[in-house]
Structure 1
C-alpha cells in the first residue's frame, strides 16, 4: 500500500492545491490528513492564499481519497461543511504488521504517549516540525507542515510505501526516510 501523509494546511488554498497536485503525481491509494485543515489558529500567521472556502471545495472534490483526523484548530462547524469525516482524535492503521497510531498531536504526542508497544509507530503533525525518532522502540514520525513549517523546516509531506516512510519537500526531494524493521 502507498499512502501520502500531510498535515497542517491551515486554510491555505495555495498549499492545498500543491497537496492535490503532489497526490496526483505520487499516485498513492489514499491521502491521510493529520488535522488543522481550514483555520490558521491564533498562534499562526495567515498562510499564503488563506482561503478556507477554496480549501473546502478542493477537499470535498477529493473526499473519496481522504482519511482524516481532527486537529486542534478543527471544529464541529468545519465538519458541517466538509463531506468526509474529520472529527476522530486518532486512527489506527496496520501496515506491514506494525500498528500505526495516526493523530494530530495535540492530545497524543511523544510527551503524552498513547498505549503503544515496541515496533508500533506514533504518527502526528501539530508541531509543524519534521521528525523521525526512536522513542525506546516506538517510532515517532511527523511529516512537518504543508503550509506553515517551523524551526527552519521546509514545507513538506510524507510518503509511506513498502514499509518505508519518506519525508519530502514540495518539489518531491527526499529530506528523511525510515525503513520499518520486519
Structure 2
C-alpha cells in the first residue's frame, strides 16, 4: 500500500498512475480549499535562506529643498546592500526575504528649516520623523521602526509636509536590516 492507495501487482502501471493521479488531484483540491477558506496563507517563495544577512545603508547625494508632500526621498549613495533589497535609483527597499526588519532614518535640517518624513510600507504610512530647526541652527532627527515584512513587500521614505528641506545630505541616511 502506497499513501493509502493499494499497490497494483504486475505490469499494470497505468492503473498505478491513475490511482496516483487521483490521489494527487484530491490532495491539491484539499490544499486549494484550505487557501480559499483562509485556513492557510499563501506562501511566497523566499529568495534568501533564513540565515542570510539582509542589511542596507544609503545616504543622500545632495540637499533637498522645497519638497512636496508625497515626494519620495531617494538615498542614492549606497554604502552596503547585503541581500540586494535596496534600489538606490528609486529609493525603495524590497524585502528579499520574510521576517522582522529594523529601519532607521536620520534627517538633518539647518538654517531655520523643517523636515517631515515618514516610513512608508506598501503605500501606507508607518512612522513619522519630524525635524524642526526653527529655534536652532542645526537639528538632526532620527527615527527607528520595527516592521514585519513578507517577501516582495516595499518600504521607502517620503516627505509628508510641503516645503520640507534636508540640508546636510552627508549626515542624512536610511538603513535597514532583518533580525
More helix by share: 1
RCO greater where, 1 or 2, for CA within 8 Å and sep 6 or more? 2
When Rg is computed on C-alpha atoms for both structures, the one with the higher figure is 2
Fold match (TM-score > 0.5): no
TM bin (shorter chain): under 0.3
So what's the TM-score if we normalise by structure 1? 0.22
The structure in which a higher percent of residues are strand is 2
